[in-house]
Amino acid sequence: MIPRDITMTQLSNHPDSNSSNVGRIVIVLVITVAVGAFFYFDLGRFLSLTALQENRDSLLAFTDANFVAAVAIFIGIYAMVAGLSLPGAVILTLAGGFLFGAGWATVFVNVGATTGATVAFLTARYLLRDTVEQKFGKWLGPFQEGFGKNAFSYLLTLRLIPLFPFFVVNLVSGVTRVSIRTYVAATSLGIIPGSFVYAYAGRQLGTINSLKEIASPNVIAAFVLLGLLALVPVIYKKYTAKSS
């Protein structure tokens, strides 16, 4: 005979379990539909340099007339792109640079990217763990080892030095034991340098009206910074190889 208290516990937990599963299924469906719609309707065409150049004047006019709304829309779109692991974050950072300036764009990008990265992290941890482990299982071992030694330092290094794509770090981190507090802190701090470099480049590129202006000192400096940023992973790999 089953004890009455165990039976009552099982009965009381059953509805909550069902509702939780339904909630997860709904969220997964919403994510799937959103990602599918992005590619089906080719929304990525709006996140391109060509689209930015064609709509540059109207975007600048809207930002000047509706600064707060422009900031809110920018952060919301950035968070959505990062949260759904969609392409276009680099273009958005460049756009933020010429719309808001390098300094403010770095702040707004940080808010949007950190928010989106956290959403992806939580989605991987509580909704898509099996899928993430199956797709990115080959990278899970090094991540677990690095987080086991010093989670904050390791994640900060991954953000500062893009050895892995941004979205991969978001998803794989979700199936590790790193705490959400450590994840958010390291992500927010680690993406600042890269965000500033791209925002600064965007600010300079956004001021170009003709090909002659490409040779201006500010634009050249922007390209130099982008080149140095691209070299960071190479230098890091050589340094770690020599150390080992």
Count of CB atoms within 10 A of residue 179's CB?
12
- What per-residue confidence (pLDDT) applies to 10? 47
Q: Are residues 35 and 82 in the same domain?
A: no
Average pLDDT on 148-166 reads: 87
The predicted model gives 93-99 an average pLDDT of: 93
Structural domain that includes position 1: 1-40
Least confident of 124-133, 140-149, 174-183: 140-149
> Which segments of the chain does DSSP mark as H helices, in order?
4-40, 49-54, 56-65, 67-83, 89-100, 102-126, 129-160, 166-174, 180-190, 192-205, 217-243
Contact 104, 110 (CB under 8 A): no
pLDDT at 108 over 60: yes
- In this prediction, residue 173 has a pLDDT band, given cuts at 50, 70 and 90, of very high
Same domain, 101 and 3: no
> Does pLDDT of 124 surpass 70?
yes
Residues 27 and 129 in one domain: no
At 1, the pLDDT band (50, 70, 90 cuts) reads very low
Q: Are residues 27 and 91 in the same domain?
A: no
pLDDT score of 6 more than 60: no
At residue 9, the pLDDT reads: 43
DSSP 220-243: HHHHHHHHHHHHHHHHHHHHHHHH
Same domain, 14 and 55: no
pLDDT-derived band of residue 212, with 50, 70 and 90 as boundaries? low
Between residues 103 and 210, the one the model is more confident about: 103
194 with 96, same domain: the answer is yes
Instruction: Encode pLDDT of 9-31 as tens digits.
Output: 444 455 566 667 887 888 889 99
User: Is 169 found in the same domain as 207?
Assistant: yes
pLDDT in tens, 54-88: 898 999 999 999 999 999 999 999 999 999 999 99
Model confidence band, residue 5 (pLDDT cutoffs 50, 70, 90): very low
Whether the predicted pLDDT of 7 surpasses 60: no
Q: pTM to 2 decimals?
A: 0.82
Q: Do residues 4 and 60 share a domain?
A: no
pLDDT of residue 211: 43
Distance CA 49, CA 98 (A): 12
Could you tell me if 135 and 145 lie in one domain?
Answer: yes
Do 214 and 158 fall into the same domain? Answer: yes
Residues 87, 8: one domain? no
Answer whether residue 106 shows pLDDT above 80: yes
Mean pLDDT of the chain: 84
Based on the structure, what is the number of domains in the chain?
Answer: 2
| Pair 25, 72 in one domain | no
